[in-house]
Amino acid sequence: MAKKLVIKVTAGADAPERCSQAFTVAAVAVASGVEVSLWLTGESSWFALPGRAAEFELPHAAPLPDLIESVLAGGRVTLCTQCAARRGITEEDVVEGVRIAGAQVFVQESLADDTQALVY
């Protein structure tokens, strides 16, 4: 099993099951002691903003705010630079603990030794 897990989530409210799966896997991995880096891209970018995760609903799924809080507590959450720019999101806008970084950082993290990357 990889010691590090990089998860890129591209889905948001447009594909709720895929979105929820990504956040659930990230939170479970953190709880299991895995080093997790969760990347918000595409429609999931909106969840970097305060209150937006609370608007997400999916029956029989853990609440998105709880999952994000778990990942932030034990891992890293990154908002894609280009995705943020396209949506007018700045560093001042995001939830505390969320960083904004670009593709170079994603590639660097994904290609690190003992790392597994997943895309949802």
pLDDT, one tens digit per residue, over 58-97 is 999 999 999 999 999 999 999 999 999 999 999 999 999 9
Q: Return mean pLDDT, the chain.
A: 97
Give residue 28's pLDDT: 98
- Count the helix, strand and coil residues of the chain and give each as a percent rounded to the nearest 5: 40, 20, 35
Q: What angle do CA 32, 34, 39 make, to 5 degrees?
A: 120
